[in-house]
Amino acid sequence: MSGNNKKAKLAVFKFSSCSGCQDKLIDLGENLLSLIEKVEIAYFLEASSRIDPGPYDVALIEGSVSTPHEVELVKEIRKNSRIVIAIGTCAVYGGIQSLRNWMNYQDVVKQVYPKPEWINSLEKSTPVSDHIRVDYQVSGCPVNELQLFSVLKQVLTGRRPYHRLESLCQECKRGGNVCVMVSRGIPCLGPIMVEGCGALCPSYGRGCYGCFGPMIDPKPDALARRLEEIGLPKEEVILRLRGFTGWSDPIRRFLERYERE
């Protein structure tokens, strides 16, 4: 996208989600101003009522696909956009709402809504990449605004975005945190989750909940065994792993096996 002075057209779409990831864009503050010098915000309902029908250079999609309408919409966005970036754990892995994927859909709808017959959603909440080709993904619940900004900068300057996909532990240690698992016996998913959040939870003395999703080549088997060893009951290991990104491929495949064991 380098080489021409025309501003890139940026669109931000919301699917099934809490809007927290879009808010992170607004949280960019001064960086947002420098971004606006490079992009024209063509569609971003959270921030502006302007509706430019496209086509777009870069489309950010927040949220999972969880209604029949969203299945159609996401395809249209793909057709209408040069680069599609899924932002946030809902868009990348299905989000917290994908907890329903583990249960009977009818039961869930009945439990949640007083008039279940008014609800028209899909049985499963799925990532955007299950429906269309996605160019890049930035996970996190919510995304880390600096990581999102970094990816946008890389895309806008014509690079193929890169961020590390190694364990959260590395970021945790580089940041100078003390391991909560070793020093306090607090269960932490950091050893199999991806870096990117700045090790937020461990830096406040809590274990990682896995909201950024699995790292590259994760070892959920080994971690589950270790969590049991330090005293976390199996049911809680399962709940923790399901929690935010249990619907991601490696964790789901592991859980399907582990739950039966």
Partner 1 sequence: MIFADQVLFRGSVYSGVEDDLKSLFNVAVSRGYRVIGPKLVNSVIRLEQLNDFNEIPYGYGDKQAPGYYRVVNNGGRFRHGPDSPKRFLYPPELLLFIIRPDLSVEYPRFEFYKTAFFGIKPCDLAAINVMDGVQGELGDEYYRKVRENLLLIVENCVEPGDTCFCATMGTGPFAFKGFDVAYTRVGSGVVIFQPGSDLGVDILSELSLRPAEDEQVDFLRNLMLDASKKARAEFTLENLPETLEMGLDSEVYRKIAERCFGCANCNMVCPTCFCFDVIDEPELDGSAKRIRIWDGCHSYSYAQVAGGHFRKSLYARYRHWVLHKFVYWIRQFGTFGCVGCGRCITWCPAGIDLRQVVRDVVKEVETRCRR
Scanning 29-37, 41-49, 148-156, 178-186 for contacts with ligand SF4 by CB under 6 A, the matching segment is: 178-186
Which tokens sit at 110?
């009945």
Given the rule CB under 8 A, which of 43-51, 93-101, 171-179, 232-240 is the region that contacts partner 1?
171-179
65 sits in which H/E element: none
Tell whether residue 161 is a contact of ligand SF4 (CB under 6 A): no
Closest separation between CB of residue 127 and partner 1, Å? 22
- Separation CA 6–CA 239 (nearest Å): 48
Tokens of 204: 């406040």
For residue 108, give the nearest of 118, 97, 93, 94 by alpha carbon. 97
59 phi and psi angles, rounded to 5 deg = -115, 125
Q: By CB under 6 A, what part of segment 188-227 binds ligand SF4?
A: 188, 190-191, 199, 202, 208
In whole angstroms, give the CA distance from residue 200 to residue 208: 8
- Considering only residues 130, 153, 198, 243, which one is a binding residue for partner 1 as defined by CB under 8 A? 153
Q: Does 179 bind ligand SF4 (CB under 6 A)?
A: yes
Q: From 79, 77, 40, 49, select the one nearest 62 (Cα to Cα).
A: 77
**Residue 90 and residue 234 in contact, taking contact as beta carbons nearer than 8 Å:** no
168 lies in the site for ligand SF4, by CB under 6 A: yes
Q: Which residue is nearest to ligand SF4 (CB)?
A: 190
Give the footprint of partner 1 on this chain (CB under 8 A): 34-35, 37-38, 150, 153-154, 156-157, 159, 162, 164-167, 169-170, 173-176, 178-179, 181-184, 188, 190-192, 205, 215-219, 221-223, 225-226, 229-230
